[in-house]
Amino acid sequence: MTVTIVGSQLGDEGKGRVVDLYGDAADVVVRYQGGDNAGHTVVEDGTEYKLSLVPSGVIRGKVGVLGNGCVVNPETLFSEIDALRERGLEPDVRLARRAHVILPYHRVLDGIEEDVKKDDDLAAGTTGRGIGPTYEDKAGRRGIRVGDLLDPDVLRDRLEYVVPQKRALAEDVFGIETGEEFDVDALYEQYKAFGERMKDEDMTVNAGDFLGKYNDGGKNIMFEGAQGTSIDIDHGIYPYVTSSNPTAGGAATGTGLGPGVVGQGEVVGIVKAYLSRVGTGPLPTELHDETAEYIREEGGEFGTVTGRPRRIGWLDMPMLRHAARANGFTGIAVNHLDVLAGIDELKVGHSYELDGEELFTMPSTTERWGRCEPNLKSFEGWPEVDWSEVVEQGYDAIPDNARAYLDYISDELDAPVYAVGVGPGREETIVLTNPME
Ligand code: GDP
Ligand code: IMO
Ligand code: MG
């Protein structure tokens, strides 16, 4: 069976910790989109792991696959694998030969384009990892794939075609001086060596075939989404989005297993109990007061990848209803309940007011979304409690007001609560249902 873990908001909902939570019963954990723009945190026995490419399941010793829908920076991947080895783990990571490779020029172009867009307020506040430019080349059929790194002649041909175009773009359109990042010979040597290491370590696979065998053998497959529904390139707040499909459909196209395989499994929406945002663009329920400060400090809301302070807002129900439909959530996991403890009165954006109309889901243009005024619903807060005791006693031991908050979310989304996070650690979770069992 399959379980797909999907961010229901703007990323950083705590997907990594839920993958880790349920990962024990998984035989393989697969990333299906995105690249090292992701930062997934797993806390095992007080030890923290921050993973940007290696699937979170490897912390439990599971096979990790980067599917064809991912974009892979080999440099980041190898340094992450090496760092995990130094910490005593033996990550078994397989790479789809169809996945696209991030090259140094993609990162340079990501930075330049963001700078240029700033003047028009169009910059997405990207992670600067070259994600957008790599997906652009994929769609433009000029990308370099993992499989190409394994064949030096193909690699050279591809580089000779694409690099002069990138150099011309950087120099003639954007007016910057280019260096080794745009040099065919230097890139060829560097990326050929990455290909050799991939071969030596027998890392590359035909992901669809590889995963198909797991599926045919009745094994448990976990799909680890990165980013979140509202920064999905199709369903998110375009243009302030990432360049892939974090939504559940991406688990099929990004791995080579059919949509039926994904759809017959469980799709678990990961919900942060409030909103956090690292990038730019509108945010109707954004907070600018001392409550935002409190949540930012209590929740440690500073970007995993970039260290930037995250923007904070109240929970946005139209955003969650949109996510529940786009992904078909069979259940939800709500994280960071502990962070809200100690706030007297909580608010939730129940619906939006736009041009005299009440909306219950997100409008499809970001300009209209930016003009939405949230209709706020109030909830009484709950005090700080001994969460380890609550975990021991189970769901009913959650403070009444917090349970009312969770029940409201679950009812509105018509999806049961599978788990509640009350701290970053693996044990700091109240588990109601394990979809993998
Ligand atoms: P991801 O990108 O969705 O995997 O999430 P991140 O790892 O980027 O961000 C989530 C942050 O919140 C990490 O620092 C986690 O360790 C932490 N975290 C996750 N769940 C909880 C929770 O229930 N309570 C608290 N206090 N922290 C949590
Ligand atoms: P995880 O998997 C939060 C945001 C960036 C920017 C936009 C585009 O940890 O939840 P990109 O570098 O992808 O081209 O940036 O998307 N973004 C994320 N925000 N969590 C993430 O990943 C993100 N990955 C990208 O801040 O607004
Ligand atoms: Mg993250």
The alpha carbon of 269 and the centre of ligand 1 are apart by a number of angstroms equal to 14
Q: Which of 20, 40, 232, 338 is catalytic?
A: 40
CA atoms within 13 A on the CB side of 17: 30
* pTM for the full predicted model: 0.97
- Measured by CA distance, the residue closest to atom 8 of ligand 1 is 12
For 225-236, write each residue's pLDDT tens digit.
999 999 999 999
Q: Break the chain into its structural domains and give their ranges.
A: 2-93+206-431, 100-200
- pLDDT at residue 307 in the model: 79
Residue 40 designated active-site? yes
Backbone angles phi, psi at 290, to 5 degrees: -70, -20
CB-defined site of ligand 2, < 6 Å: 7, 11-12, 37-40, 124-127, 129, 131-132, 226-228, 231, 240, 242-243, 278-279, 304
Q: Given the CA of residue 303, which atom of ligand 1 is nearest to it? A: 8
The alpha carbon of 302 and the centre of ligand 2 are apart by a number of angstroms equal to 13
- Measured by CA distance, the residue closest to atom 13 of ligand 1 is 41
Ligand 3 is an ion; its neighbours by CB within 5 Å are 12, 39, 304
| Cβ–Cβ < 8 Å for 366, 280 | no
Q: Which residue in the block uniquely carries the two structure tokens 């490419």?
A: 53
CATH number of 100-200: 1.10.300.10
User: Mean pLDDT for each consecutive 10-residue tract of the chain (437 residues)?
Assistant: 98 97 97 97 96 97 98 98 97 98 98 89 90 98 98 98 98 96 98 98 98 98 98 97 98 98 98 94 96 96 80 98 98 98 98 98 97 98 97 97 98 98 97 95
Beta strands in 371-425 (DSSP E): 373-380, 417-421
- pLDDT at residue 304 in the model: 65
Q: Strands 204-205 and 93-96, how do they pair? A: parallel
- pLDDT at residue 333 in the model: 98
Helix or strand (DSSP H, E) at 352: strand 345-354
- pLDDT at residue 124 in the model: 83
Residue 100 designated active-site? no
- pLDDT at residue 122 in the model: 84
Q: Indicate if 100-200 has the same CATH topology as 2-93+206-431.
A: no
- pLDDT at residue 103 in the model: 98
H-assigned helices in 44-130: 74-86, 104-118
CATH number of 2-93+206-431: 3.90.170.10
- Measured by CA distance, the residue closest to atom 11 of ligand 1 is 14
